[in-house]
Structures are given as C-alpha cells and as structure tokens.
Chain A
C-alpha cells in the first residue's frame, strides 16, 4: 500500500478525530501518584489494610466506555462493624476519581454495582472506610481493548 503525503496526513487527522471521542489521558505516573495520594487522604494518612473488601471487574473490558464494576465489603452493618463508604479510583484516567458509595445500617449489606469509563488499560481501586476509621483496599487491573478498525 502506497500513500502519498496528503493521504497519510488525512489518515492521521482521522486518527486524532477518533481519539477525541474518548478521554485524553495524563502521563501514567501523574495519574498513579494522584491515586496514591487520594487513597492516603481517604485512609486518614494510614496505609489501608487488605481483606474484607472485594472489587469485581472484568479482566478484559470490551469497551472502556462502559465497564461494570462491583464492590462488596464483609460487615455486620451494625454498631462498630459498619461500612461507611467505599471510594472508587482509577489510576489511568485523566482524573482518578470515579465515585464514592455511602452506606448506612439500612443498606443491610455493603454491596454496590455501577458502570464506569476507563481511558485505557489501568488499575481500579476500591477503598472501604469503616465506622471505627479503619480502611481496607482491593484493586483489579482491567485491560481495555481497542476495537477492530476503530469501529
């Protein structure tokens, strides 16, 4: 296939037009640092523990615009054993913030599902904060695939 300069330029313009339909991502390090900072802030300066919280996300997302994610935290949802909130972050988006789920005793079970946007392959974090101030984290890497011919 031979392309002259003009055709090649037209194609690269096309590629840019496709790119603008999604996010323009920050350099990987900046987003990852920002994510780490958010987690520490949310955890009150401490390192969150592991266990108790489970983040479910597809290993491979068919399209980064709509990725289902679920969180579940083991808790009696009464007294001290109570989940107050779960912070969701994504370390490869232009802004790591995704959502915060807020639970109450009326929730019964600390479990929630939503759908999120992922600009590219990256790690999604879920951090749970309990009534006693303790925090727990889980993370999943989600591979975001690129479709066939941009279709």
Chain B
C-alpha cells in the first residue's frame, strides 16, 4: 500500500512542485500539409497568460511530427474518408443526408469549424461541432443524435473539421452569453481538482515545456481535435481527452457535452486563438 501511495504522491509532487525535470524547448519546425503551411505559433490574444500560443505538434518527437505532416501516412485521414461517406449517406425519417442541404462540404464547411464552439440561441448555450451535427440530425434529418464517441460521430466530426484545415482558430465571444461561458471555463481551468489536486494550468501553463515522466508537456491546445492518438491508434475527441485529463487527476469525470465541459471547451479553444485547425492532428 505504501508503495502505491508513494507513487501517486510522486506524480503529484512532480507537477505541483519544481521537481519536474528540465524544460525542453518546443522545436523550431514548420508544419506543411499538402503544400499548405499551418500556423503553429501565433501571438497570444489579449488577456492570455502566454506571449505566444504554440501547437502541440511542436512538442512531439520527429516521427510523430512526420506522421501528421504526410497526409497519406496520417491514419486520421481514414476517418476523414469515412466521414465523407457518412456526409453523403441518407439517414432518418426525412430522407436527407448532410449533403442534401450542405452540398459539397469542401465549399460549404470550409473554415467553419475554426469558429466553434459558437452560441446556439435555441439551446441558450455554446455548441461544438458534435452538438451541431446532432442538432441537424434530430431537427432536420429526423435521425437520432449520436451516442458520445460513436465511430460515426468521430468520423463525421473529423471530416467536417478537416474542411477547415489551416484556418486560424477565432471564437466570437460577443455572441449571446459566450463571454460568461468563457469566464466559467477560465475558472475551471485554474481550479485544482482530484486526489492529485491538479488544475489544467498546473500541467499546461505552470509546467508547459517540462517533462512529466516521459511526456513533454504542451500548452494543451484544442486545435487538432479530434486527434489521432498513437496510444489508442484511434481518433480521440476533445471531450474524451478533457475527461481523460480530469480522470488522471483522480477526480470525478464530468459528462461529455455537460455545461462544465462546454465551458472548458470555449475557454481552452480560445487559448489557441490564431493557431491553424490541424484536424486530424497526430499525437502520442
């Protein structure tokens, strides 16, 4: 028992004190995907704790960076292709597909995802791409909402976000009550939680660039989600990753798309303002 509690305490100590190993610079490298250069460094928006926002790609090893830079080797592209099939598939009682209303996604969805989450006046809360898809499915297609992290939800979200590849992230906080959701998300970001007593900021702000065991801690940006993770060899949605981080602090996990996680998504996405949408990014 002693060993286990010591091990847990060690992780907590590593992050909460200065025992974290040496800082390692993010690499000085350019991410070019199919001839298009991604913005992996951007001046931070006003009120941001950092001067510069950095893509998680800059914190990865050369082999992982190469997997994202080559759109053929990037296994996330398999999900883009699957998403395209779903885009064109008729479902639900109204006999419609996504394409029935939105035609060619390369035109209609171009750049759109860079501005999500956005305010939804009907729901009176911010919605992300997953919730926008569900809204379309239930209201316009007469189909059921997807179960959280259903393969179809991940594939279609990946496909739609991919249409914004390269577009800089920019939220409109003036819409509806976006600002108050941003405020709530910010509060959550800095609130320590779980048995390990860690906040998002403990790792991704105070220890950014340092190593937690063998992981090079990034700024924890959201611009590459859904992301192809080598660990799962699968697409990982943003809310899955947020829940995973919260689980790792040994706290209760909020439900996907709950107010708590939507507020956090608004705030975390804003922290990546100016970075290119990199979906499907490749991470460790």
- Do any beta carbons of A and B sit within 8 angstroms of each other in the complex? yes
**Which residues of chain A are near B230, meaning CB under 8 Å?**
62-63, 65-66
How long is the Cα–Cα vector from A58 to B230 in the complex, in angstroms? 14
| Mask: chain A, 60-80; 1 = CB below 8 Å from B; 0 = not | 111101111000000000000
Any chain B CB within 8 A of the CB of A150?
yes
Query: In the complex, how many residue pairs between chain A and chain B have their CB atoms under 8 Å apart?
Result: 77
Taking Cβ atoms with an 8 Å cutoff, the residues of A that contact B are: 1-3, 5, 7-9, 11-12, 15, 58, 60-63, 65-68, 145-151
In the complex, whether B284 has a CB less than 8 A from a CB of chain A is yes
- In the complex, the chain A residue whose C-beta lies closest to that of B62 is A58
The complex places the Cα of A63 from the Cα of B250 at a distance, in Å, of 22
Q: For this complex, into which size category does the number of interface residues on chain B fall?
A: 20 to 34
* Cross-chain contact A148 with B231 (CB below 8 angstroms): no
* Contact A146:B4 (CB < 8 A) given known A58-B63, A65-B231: no
Residues of chain B within 8 A (CB-CB) of A149 are 11, 196, 212, 248-249
A interface footprint on B1-17 (CB within 8 Å = 1, 0 otherwise): 10011001101100000
A3-B8, A62-B63, A68-B66 given; name 19 further pairs at CB < 8 Å. Answer: A1-B8, A3-B4, A3-B5, A5-B1, A8-B1, A8-B5, A11-B4, A58-B63, A60-B214, A61-B63, A145-B214, A145-B215, A147-B215, A147-B284, A148-B11, A148-B203, A148-B248, A150-B248, A151-B244
Q: Are B60 and A11 in contact (CB under 8 A)?
A: no
**Which chain A positions have C-beta within 8 A of B284?**
62-63, 147
Q: Point out residues on B near A: beta carbons under 8 Å.
A: 1, 4-5, 8-9, 11-12, 60-64, 66-67, 195-196, 203, 212-215, 217, 229-233, 244-245, 247-250, 284
Contact indicator B1/A3 (Cβ below 8 Å): yes
